[in-house]
Amino acid sequence: MPPPLSGSSFFTAWILDVPAVLVVLVLGAGYLCAARRQESWPPGRTTAFLAGLATLLVVTCSFIGVYDSTLFWVRATQNTVLLMVTPLLLALGAPVTLLMRVAPPGLAAKLCSYGRGPLARFVTFPLIVTVVLIAPFLVLYLTPLYALTLDSTVVGGLVRVALVLAGFLYFYSRIQLDPTPRAGAHLVSVWISLTEVIFDGALGLVLWLGPLLAPAHYDAAHRGWGPDPRTDQIIGAGVLWIGGDVAGLPFVGALFIRWARDDEKRAKQLDRRLDEEAEAGEAPASGLWWENDPELAARFRRR
């Protein structure tokens, strides 16, 4: 049993999680080597990817990794970061684009083919990625799986990997810094985020008012310090509810920045096309401006 969690323990309690450290070292070294081979790879993407790997180390090797099987709220913090923070930062690093640039032509062609295939288009469909984002916590906390993650190191490790992969699939498909099988509207991502907020609140209420999870495990811990099991679970419910929403704010900010940049890019393309038509001496298009936009004309065509 770890010692009582105190103020100093937040900074002094550390553990070596060998699998997590190896994953971070391999991914970090591979990303840095690939980025160095690019002449103009944005440093912000490298910083975001490395920050994502750093969060993985924090939640597995710091006090969070030490007390994740002792306190419910610590485990809730760990899971929230793995689903909402780590994958977001990794996706902001555009690792798929970097991989496609440095991969051999044959491998890049195969990856491109798989990325445009029916399976990739299915898993990146907005309804599917919504389920991918929402379902992990519902399955984890509303089934016996949570107790298994506490008692089995293997199951706990697999769940951590699943959380990161689920979060990465969602942020990869919605931020769209990397090439994606389908072009999704940014407004759809906003609605998915609102749906996630609703389900976070519902799960938080269930854990707050519902029965204790894994009572046998926490009773066997015999901590003798810290909050009692009910208070511990209430704190954890608040972490999953409020912490999940707060962790999603950077994504919403990145989404609106991406949205604004895409609109600006489209406006410049439209202005450039109109200028080229004017220089060529073509008659100016008649009608309203949106009737001349190649994307909006078909959608809002006059009947």
Q: What is the mean pLDDT of residues 117-121?
A: 82
Q: What is the mean pLDDT of residues 257-273?
A: 67
Q: What is the mean pLDDT of residues 39-58?
A: 93
pLDDT at 3: 82
Model confidence at 126, pLDDT cuts 50, 70, 90, reads confident
In 3D space, the residue among 87, 105, 220 whose CA is nearest the CA of residue 160 turns out to be 87
pLDDT at 303: 52
Model confidence at 281, pLDDT cuts 50, 70, 90, reads low
The tens digit of pLDDT for each residue in 63-84 reads 999 999 999 999 999 999 999 8
Residue 288, pLDDT above cutoff 90: no
The tens digit of pLDDT for each residue in 161-173 reads 999 999 999 888 8
Q: What is the 3-state secondary structure (H, E, C) of the chain?
A: CCCCCCCCHHHHCCCCCHHHHHHHHHHHHHHHHHHHCCCCCCHHHHHHHHHHHHHHHHHHHCHHHHHCCCCHHHHHHHHHHHHHHHHHHHHHCCHHHHHHHHCCHHHHHHHHHHHCCHHHHHHCCHHHHHHHHHHHHHHHHCCCHHHHHHHCHHHHHHHHHHHHHHHHHHHHHHHCCCCCCCCCCHHHHHHHHHHHHHHHHHHHHHHHHCCCCCHHHHHHHCCCCCCCHHHHHHHHHHHHHHHHHHHHHHHHHHHHHHHHHHHHHHHHHHHHHHHHHHHCCCCCCCCCHHHCCCCHHHHCCCC
Residue 267, pLDDT above cutoff 70: no
Instruction: Specify the pTM.
Output: 0.80
Model confidence at 294, pLDDT cuts 50, 70, 90, reads low
Say which residue, 26 or 180, is predicted with more confidence.
Answer: 26
Q: What is the mean pLDDT of residues 25-43?
A: 92
Tokens of 7: 């103020």
pLDDT at 55: 96
Q: What is the mean pLDDT of residues 217-245?
A: 86
pLDDT at 32: 95
Residue 235, pLDDT above cutoff 90: yes
Q: What is the mean pLDDT of residues 239-251?
A: 77
